[in-house]
Amino acid sequence: MKRPSWDEYFISIAKLTSQRSTCLRRQVGAVIVQDKQIVATGYNGAPKGLSHCDEIGGCLREKLKIPSGERHELCRALHAEQNAIIQAATSGQSIEGGTIYITHQPCVICSKMIINAGLRKIVVADGYPDELAVELLEEAGLKVITIEEGDE
């Protein structure tokens, strides 16, 4: 049996977290880590107490045929990264200098939040079609590291 690296371990937890997602389009999970300790987790879904898309007749972005990576403001859901950052904030946990593990590359909105939250490392399992996000992260000195379980 091979013991997973820390990156593999936390990516697998992000993947597990994504299973709580209520999004009809893409299930995303995020885990924020400080010093190899989980500080917060998040998954994409409607704000607390509000109906999920499957409860109100489906996804508006699907109905409008909006391509992935565009018009995020038309989505009911908060993204996994946003929920993880909010969870850390509401529990009074600093995430500055930490690492965020995400099942998918962050969009431009989440990338801006990650930059301003002071996170220093981003590890993802899959890509996402948002070139502006990549440009902003590179300008901020943040590299997106793609890792699959089993990679070394």
Q: Quick one: how far is CA 30 from the chain centroid? A: 4
Q: Which of 8, 62, 73, 81 is catalytic?
A: 81
Helix (H), strand (E) at residue 16 = helix 6-18
Look up residue 151 and give its DSSP letter: -
How remote is the C-alpha of 44 from its chain's centroid?
8
Q: Name the residue among 73, 63, 140 with its Cα closest to residue 82.
A: 73
Q: Is 81 a catalytic residue?
A: yes
Residues designated catalytic: 81
